Structure 1
C-alpha cells in the first residue's frame, strides 16, 4: 500500500505512460473508442477502489498542490495554438455554424437535464456542466470546469463514460453520413464550392508558417523549458490575481483562475509564443496527470447510475442533431459544415480532422482550426451551461 506522495505520483505517471504506449501500439479496435485518457481514469479508479494508496497527509498535499497549480498551466498551454487570425480565415458562415452547434449543445443539455432530473442524484448538474465543457471544447475544458465547480471525482466517472461511449457512437454516425453529402446539400440548398478553396489556402498558409517555426530542429530542451516555466508562472500569477477578485456562490476564486488564464492563453496565442514547439505535448502530459489525480479520489462503488447517464448522453446528442438539421435548412449549411461544426465541439482536435479527411484531405485544416476554436469557448460555455442547470436543479 502506497503512503508516500512521491510513489503516489510516480504510479499515476507510470500508468499514464503505459496506457499511452499500449493504445499507440495495439491493433485492437476497442482502443479507437476508448482512448488512453479514459482507460487511465478507470484504471486509477480501480486501484483507488482497491485501496492501493492511503490518503495520508503527504498524498493529500501532493494531490491538492499538483491539481491546483498544474491545471491553470495546462489551460494556458492548450490555448497557445488558438490562432484567431487563422480561425478568421474559415469564413463567417463556417464560424457561425460552429457557434450554432455550440448553442444547440447547450440547449440540448438543458432539455436533457430537465427530462432526466427525477432520476439523477443531487448535484448532478455539475457532472453535466463538466461534460458540456468537454462537448464544447475538449477534455482540458472538462478538467477546468471540474476544478471551477468542484465536481466530485466519482461524478467525473459518469462524465467520461458518456464522453467515450456516446461520443464514439456520434462519430460513427457522422462518418456514416458522408456519402449522403450531395443529397443533403440539394435539400438545404447549400453552396459547397468555397470549402475546397478554404481548405487548400489554410494548408498552404500552415506549411509556410511551419517552415520558420524552429531554425534549430535538434534543440528541444529550450522551447520545452521556456513553455514549462512560463505556464507555471502564469498559473501562479492567475491565482494571485484571482485572490483579489470578488466572489459569489457560483463564481468562486477558482472560477476566476480559470477565466483569467483562459484570457491570457488566447492573448498569448496571438504572439510569437504560438510558434514555440512543445505546447501540445506539455499540456497533454499535464492533462494525463490531472485526470489521474481526479480518478485517484473516485470509487467504482459510486458508479450506480451509469446506464441512466449513458442514455441521457444519447438524448442530448439527439436534440443537438435535430437542431443542427433545422439550422442547416434555415441557413443553407452543407453536411460537411454541420458535421465538422458538431464534431469540433464534441470531439475536438482528436476527431474533427478525421471527419474532415473523410470528405477531402484538403479540408483537414478546417477541422483543426474549428476544434481549436472549441478550446477557446469550451470552458466559458460549460460554465454558462452549469449556471443554467443549477437554476433548474431542485
Structure 2
C-alpha cells in the first residue's frame, strides 16, 4: 500500500519483531492472570484476559508503535490460525452425547441459539425506531456487518466472530466498538448466571424442575473424565497440528474454484457472502473437523486438542486486536442498547421455554453460555454447578462452534433486512 502524507511511520515496522511483540503481550496477559494476587485477580474478574488480548495490541496500534492496518500478520492469522483452530475444536464433536442430551439440555441450547438469531434483528429494528443513526451506516461502517460478527460470537465463539469479520468486512473502528459490546454485555449476563448457580435449588423450584437427570449426568461425566484423560506426548501435538494445518490447506484449495464458480455464475449471491472465498474456507474447515470426529482422530481431544485450538485462537486474537483503533470504542453508544435488547430477548426466551419444559436451571445456564460465551465461558459456568459437568458445557459449545458461523451469517442477513437505509 502506498504511503500518504497522513500516515504515521510506526516505531516497529519489522513484521517478525511485531509478531514477537504480540506473542510477548499474549504471554504477559496469561502470566499475570495466573498470579494469585487478590488485586490482579480482581482486575481480571472485571477485565477478562480475552478482552486484554484484543485491546493491548489495539493500544500499540493506536499509539503508532505498530501498524496493524498495513501488516500481513492479521491476514496470516485469519487464513491459517482460524481454520486450524476450528478443526481442532470440532474434531471431538460427540453427536451421540448431544443426542442423549437432546430432551432438555439440547432444547435449551437450541432455544438460546434461536434467541440470538431472532433477537439480533429484533434489537436492530427496535433501536432503529428510537435511534436509527445507531444502527445505520454505509459501506464497511454498516452496523449490521459488525453485529453479524457479534452474532457469530454469541452462537459459537471468538473463532466464529473472526470468521464473520472476514466474511462481512466491518470497518476496524466498528469492529472495535463491537468487541466492547460483546465483552460488556456477555460478561454481565455470565455474572448473573454464575450468581444463579449459587441459588440453584431456589431457581429449580421456580421452574418446577426435576434435577435427577442432572445428578445422573454428573456421575456419568465424572466417570468418562477419569477414564480417558491422559498426558499428551510429542507425537500427539504433531498429529494435531498436521490434521489442523493439512485440513486448512485442503479447505483453502477447495474454496477457490467454488468461490470462482459462484462469482461467475451467481454474482447476485454476493450479498449473501456466497461469492466470498473465506466463507467457503470456513465451511470446508468445519466439515473437515466434523468428519474427523467420526474417526480415531477424535481421541486427540483426550490429549488436549481443544487446548491447542484455544492457543491458536488467542494467537489469532492478538493479530486481530492489532488492527483496532481504541479511540473508536465509544463512537456509537447506541450499540450497547442493541446488545442489551438482544441479550434480554435471548434470556426471556430461555426462561419461557425452561418454565414450559420444567428444565433445571443448570440446563438454562449452560445452554446460554454454550452460545454466548463459547467453550471457555460454558466451561466456567458448568464448573460452577459441578466440576464433572464441564464436559456438558464443552460438548454443547463445540456444537456451537460447528454452527456459529452459519447461524451468525443468517442473523447478519436478517439484521441487514431490518436496518435503516
Shared fold by TM > 0.5? Answer: yes
**TM-score calculated relative to the size of structure 1:** 0.90
Identify unmatched segments of 5+ residues in structure 2.
Answer: 1-10, 264-268
2-structure distance, mates of 1:155, 1:224: 37
The alpha carbon displacement at 1:208 in A equals: 2.0
Structure 2 SS opposite 1:52: coil
Closer, same or farther in 2 for the Cα pair 1:121/1:16, shift >3 Å? farther
The alpha carbon displacement at 1:242 in A equals: 0.8
1:235 lines up with 2:248 in the alignment: yes
Q: Deviations over 1:267-324 (max 9, x none)?
A: 1122221222242233223222222222222212333435322332222111111111
2-structure distance, mates of 1:175, 1:278: 26
Among residues 82, 85, 92, which one is paired with 2:103 in the alignment? 92
Closer, same or farther in 2 for the Cα pair 1:355/1:5, shift >3 Å? closer
Q: Deviations over 1:115-149 (max 9, x none)?
A: 22412342111111111111111111111211222
The alpha carbon displacement at 1:151 in A equals: 2.9
1-structure distance, mates of 2:156, 2:65: 33
Alpha carbons 2:84, 2:247 under 8 Å: kept:
yes
The residue number in structure 2 matching 1:255 is: 279
- Number of matched pairs: 386
The residue number in structure 2 matching 1:17 is: 27
2-structure distance, mates of 1:358, 1:36: 19
Alpha carbons 1:15, 1:40 under 8 Å: kept:
yes
1-structure distance, mates of 2:26, 2:173: 19
The alpha carbon displacement at 1:197 in A equals: 0.5
The alpha carbon displacement at 1:11 in A equals: 1.2
Among residues 33, 45, 51, which one is paired with 2:64 in the alignment? 51
Alpha carbons 1:87, 1:370 under 8 Å: kept:
yes
2-structure distance, mates of 1:181, 1:296: 41
The residue number in structure 2 matching 1:283 is: 309
The residue number in structure 1 matching 2:334 is: 308
Closer, same or farther in 2 for the Cα pair 1:54/1:313, shift >3 Å? closer
1-structure distance, mates of 2:153, 2:104: 23
The residue number in structure 1 matching 2:371 is: 345
Closer, same or farther in 2 for the Cα pair 1:52/1:320, shift >3 Å? same
The residue number in structure 2 matching 1:264 is: 288
Report the aligned-residue RMSD: 2.2
Closer, same or farther in 2 for the Cα pair 1:47/1:101, shift >3 Å? same
Structure 2 SS opposite 1:243: helix
The residue number in structure 1 matching 2:16 is: 6
The residue number in structure 2 matching 1:377 is: 403
5 Å-filtered alignment, 1:308-327, equals 308-327=334-353
1-structure distance, mates of 2:71, 2:206: 58
Alpha carbons 2:180, 2:329 under 8 Å: kept:
no
The alpha carbon displacement at 1:91 in A equals: 4.1
Q: Deviations over 1:163-185 (max 9, x none)?
A: 22212211221122335544444
The alpha carbon displacement at 1:344 in A equals: 1.6
2-structure distance, mates of 1:142, 1:66: 14
Alpha carbons 1:102, 1:345 under 8 Å: kept:
yes
The residue number in structure 2 matching 1:147 is: 166
Closer, same or farther in 2 for the Cα pair 1:84/1:206, shift >3 Å? farther
1-structure distance, mates of 2:161, 2:20: 24
Closer, same or farther in 2 for the Cα pair 1:128/1:209, shift >3 Å? same
Dislocated runs of 4+, deviation >4 Å = none
The alpha carbon displacement at 1:342 in A equals: 0.9
1:390 lines up with 2:400 in the alignment: no
Closer, same or farther in 2 for the Cα pair 1:115/1:305, shift >3 Å? farther
Structure 2 SS opposite 1:384: helix
Closer, same or farther in 2 for the Cα pair 1:297/1:318, shift >3 Å? same
Alpha carbons 1:33, 1:165 under 8 Å: kept:
no
